[in-house]
Amino acid sequence: QVQLAESGGGLVQAGGSLRLSCAASGRTFSSYVMGWFRQAPGKEREFVAAIRWSSGSAYYADSVKGRFTISRENAKNTVYLQMNSLKREDTAVYYCAAGRGLTTPDRYDYWGQGTQVTVSP
């Protein structure tokens, strides 16, 4: 059974940092793309960042480029999202996903339960 378990969310002041983790289990993900998406209240789920597990190639939404970094640790089957210089508009539930696409949620096969990130003034 495939499981993606996010952790690391919480409350942080604007300008602060958080690191999200996504522990993947249940299958081999070497051919997959691992992505982070987020959804704020009343808004659609949006792409944040993705990484090709095999090559490590990373992709970012323009809104987070230069502030967020996605990485993976093969030995732990874990993907990370380092978030720096957080802004209030980064407040959302963050989801980890595994699939064949990059920026489109429909191309992802597996999803975690989400972790809340709240950025205060």
User: 């939404």: which residue's tokens?
Assistant: 61
- pLDDT tens profile 22-69: 999 998 888 999 999 999 999 999 999 999 999 999 999 999 999 999
Give residue 62's Cα distance to chain centre: 15
CA separation, residue 87 to residues 11, 36, 60, 92 (Å): 12, 17, 16, 11
Q: What is the pLDDT of residue 101?
A: 87
Separation CA 4–CA 113 (nearest Å) = 8
